[in-house]
Structure formats: C-alpha cells, structure tokens
Amino acid sequence: MAKSATLAVKDGKIRSSINALLADLLSKQVVEAVLVPLAHPAGNNVVQSLVTNPDYLEQADVFAPVMPVNAGRIIQAMTRLTPANKKTAVVMRPCELRALVELVKLRQAQLDNLYLIGIDCPGAYSVSDYPKYAAEKTSDDFVKAAWNGKDDPMLRAGCQVCEYPVPLMTDLTIGSVGQDLKKQLLLLASTEKGEELLEGLGLTAEEDSQAAAQRHTAVDQLLNKIKETREKFFEQTREEIGGADKLATVFGPCIKCQNCRVACPVCYCRECFFVSPTFELEAEKYLGAAEKRGAMRMPTDTLLFHLTRMTHMAASCIGCGACEEACPNAIPLLKIFQLTGTNVQKLFDYIPGRSLEDELPPTAFKEDELEWIGEK
C-alpha cells in the first residue's frame, strides 16, 4: 500500500544526510518552511525551530536525544488561531505527532498546509542530562546504538516504556528501524502529501520495497518486546502506588505548582479549572474547612487536582512523560498517568493519536455499551 524510497546515508553520516534532504525540501521549493530541532549554538540543547533559510538546516539534529518541549504544543501555538498559510514540513517524534492528532481533535491545532514527517524514535534524555551525552557522543552514535537492543537506563521515564516509538500517523516516515544505517534510511509515504514530498524531491517511490518489508518485520518485533516491558512496568507500578496510603506517599512531595499540567501537550483547557476563581476563596472558607478536620494541608486540594486532571486526560494521554520531566520533585507522574491512561483507553478501545477519525471518548457515546454501570 505505502510507497517508499531510500535515502542514502552519505559517508556513513546519518545526521548530515537527513539535513541535506530537509534543505532540498526548501531549496527545491517543495515546502516554504520546516519545523525541525536545531542544535542550540551553546551545545547544551536541541530546540524545535521554524526554518525558512536552508542554510540553517546544517544545524538540524532530528535524532539528538533531547525533547525540551513536545512539538504538538508548538504547532498548537502556531495554528490554533489560523492554519499555516505556507506549506510547512514538520519533523516530529511519534509522541509529538500523537499529541498533535489529539490537539486537532480538541480543536486546538490545524493541519492544513502541514506536511507531517515522523521519525522512528530512539528516545531522549532529560534536558538536564543531555549536555553530558552531547559532550561525548553524537546523535549518529545514539541512533545506531538504540536499535541494536540495548536498554538505556538514562532515557527519560516516558521513553523507557514508550508504547509507540514509531509514528502512528504521518505523511512521511523517516524509517531507521530494521535498516542498515551505515547505508540507508527508508522514506515511507503513507499519504498523498507524503508522496508529493518524495516527488518534489525527485525521488522515485516504489511499492512494497524490500527495505519497507524489513522495517515492517523489525517494527513488529520491537512492538512485541515493548508489550512485555510494559506489562512488567504496570505490575510494578500497581505495587508501588496502589491504594490510598501509597498514593498519599507518592504525592507527599507535591507542591501543587501545576508544572505537570502546563507541560502536558494534551491538557487542552484554555482556562484551567484549577486556576479559576473556584479556587479563590475567602479566609473564612479555609478556616471553616480546616475546622472540620482539625488540620488541612495547604495549598489545598493536591490530590483533587491530580485525580481530576486524570479524568480530563486519561483517554488522551500519549505517555510522552512531559509531566514527569517538568516536576521539580521527581513525582513519578508518567507511571501514574500511563497506568490510569492505558486502562481508560482499553475501556473505550481508543488509541490516542492513531487517527483523526476515532472520536475522543469523553465526547462520544454508544447506546449499547457499559451496561454494568447503573446495574444492581
């Protein structure tokens, strides 16, 4: 079904081969802008950047193991009011693409004129860990090491148990799984827009290539291995956080700064209930509430905040782990949200970020479902 072409890895250099391809997109006027991670001149970060001059694409580094901000959020900021007025290619990780799909369904972002380019994602480190890696190794080293089966304990919590490190919805995938990375990458078009990119680049696309078949097999193996990892992870998580006592312990260090909410790419409300006037109370209300119990933790409503956010987010949680990265007190939010999120998603047979057609579970219903609710 899907058409693909190969991208030769020149002189064994993955990063510069991809960058040349991206520069071609601009210089051959296939698109007018590219959103892509560029290496920060200081060397300590790699940041999503909107590029119109192909010269800057020498600094691009799509496999650099760091994801400071989920790019779904960035595209939301760009397109919430009006869609892109110029053809723009956006190079994103699978969890960023999934966030974007959820945001489109939540009417927070628009895809018109965007060309979604997804990468097979080898994962990322925390922003604070990245400079240590970058001082010694390159992104080429990183992606080569990633697919030969080594587990990397330094990866972000989200990446450790990432369910879909391959894109679920893109126009074009830069495939690295199952490829001989000394020689080539796979460019896999899954939509007409993707084929348009290949054509514009002057690449001949073929149906059912051998490289595409190899990726397919390798991806299946990878996803099966991930399933096992995740089952163990869920078991451990239930042990670690299950029950009122343990949950109280887990949220003991919470300062209710709400960084987790702000960093979440799919937390969608324009005005969060938890910063609304509902929580601006007169002193007598605080004192009255305290009197009922004898003592009341301040700031109030820490667990209320987390549980309520879960009811808003669980169906759409893509497991990127941005919440945990943002927490100043290392609360294992990714674990908690993935445990609750995955179960809610199973309940509604919903995979966030898979397609624009699947309805968001909280906005939809079926007449014949969930019959046990309300039964005696």
Partner 1 sequence: MAEGNNGFEPKIIGFLCNWCTASAADLAGTTRAQYPPNLHPVRVMCSGTVDPVYLIKSLLSGADAVMVGGCHPGDCHYVSGNYKARRRMAMLQNIFESLGLDANRIWTRWISASEGPEFAAAVREITEETRKQGPNPLSTDWAL
The residues of the shown chain that bind partner 1, judged by CB under 8 A, are 238, 241-248, 251-252, 273, 289, 292-297, 301-304, 307-308, 310-311, 314-315, 336, 339-340, 343-344, 347-348, 361-362, 364-367, 369-370, 373-374, 376
If one asks whether residue 296 binds ligand SF4 (CB under 6 A), the answer comes out as no
Q: For the chain, give the longest Cα–Cα distance.
A: 74
Among all chains, which residue has been given the structure tokens 């301040």? 298
Piece of the chain touching ligand SF4 by CB under 6 A; list 31-39, 135-143, 252-260, 279-287 = 252-260
CA distance 273 to 305: 9
Distance CA 343, CA 347 (A): 6
In the three-class reduction of DSSP (H, G, I as helix; E, B as strand; rest coil), residue 6 is classed as strand
CB 72 within 8 A of CB 266: yes
Whether residue 299 is preceded by a cis peptide bond, meaning omega within 30 degrees of 0, is yes
Q: What are phi and psi of 226, to 5 degrees?
A: -60, -40
User: Is 162 an interacting residue with respect to ligand SF4 (CB under 6 A)?
Assistant: yes
168 closest CA partner among 240, 112, 219 = 219
Say which residue the tokens 């029950």 belong to.
243
Contact between 37 and ligand SF4 by CB under 6 A: the answer reads no
Confirm or reject binding of residue 165 to ligand SF4 (CB under 6 A).
Answer: yes
Residue 298 CA: distances (Å) to CA of 146, 255, 291: 44, 9, 14
Segment interacting with ligand SF4, rule: CB under 6 A, options 39-47, 105-113, 183-191, 258-266: 258-266
**Residue 84 φ/ψ, nearest 5 degrees:** -60, 135
262 vs 347 by CB, closer to partner 1: 347
**Could you say which of 226, 326, 351, 360 contacts ligand SF4 (CB under 6 A)?**
326
Residue 314: HSE in the Cβ half-sphere, 13 Å Cα cutoff: 19
Dist CA 356 CA 112 (whole Å): 13
Residue 26 sits in the site that holds ligand SF4 (CB under 6 A): no
CB 117, min distance to ligand SF4, A = 14
Shortest Å distance, C-beta 39 to ligand SF4: 17
Residue number with CB closer to ligand SF4 (162 or 181): 162
Positions in 57-76 near ligand SF4 (CB under 6 A): 67
Q: How far is the CB of 108 from partner 1 (least distance, A)?
A: 20
Residue pair 253/331 in contact by the 8 Å Cβ criterion: yes
Does 250 sit near ligand SF4 (CB under 6 A)?
no
Does residue 127 touch ligand SF4 according to CB under 6 A? Answer: no
CA distance linking residue 179 with residue 218, whole number of Å: 9
User: 141 with 177: CB under 8 angstroms?
Assistant: no
In the complex, least distance from residue 141 CB atom to ligand SF4, rounded to whole angstroms = 17
Which one, of 187, 252, 230, 204, lies nearest residue 9 by Cα? 187
The entry of ligand SF4, partner 1, none near residue 143 (CB within 5 to 8 angstroms by kind) is: none
Q: What residue 362 binds from ligand SF4, partner 1, none (CB within 5 to 8 A, per partner kind)?
A: partner 1
23 scored as a contact of ligand SF4 (CB under 6 A) = no
> Least CB distance from residue 368 to partner 1, whole Å?
9
93 binds ligand SF4 per the rule CB under 6 A:
yes
> Please, which residue, 165 or 341, has the CB nearer to ligand SF4?
165
Alpha carbons 129 and 4: distance in angstroms, whole number: 35
CB closer to partner 1, 155 vs 315: 315
Interface with ligand SF4, residue 257, by CB under 6 A: yes
- Rounded to whole angstroms, how far apart are CA atoms 80 and 137? 37
Give the interface segment with ligand SF4, choosing from 4-12, 26-34, 91-99, 285-293 (CB under 6 A): 91-99
d(CA 162, CA 164): 6
Give me the residues that bind ligand SF4 (CB under 6 A), please: 67, 93-95, 121, 123-124, 158-159, 162, 165, 254-260, 320-321, 326-329, 331, 333
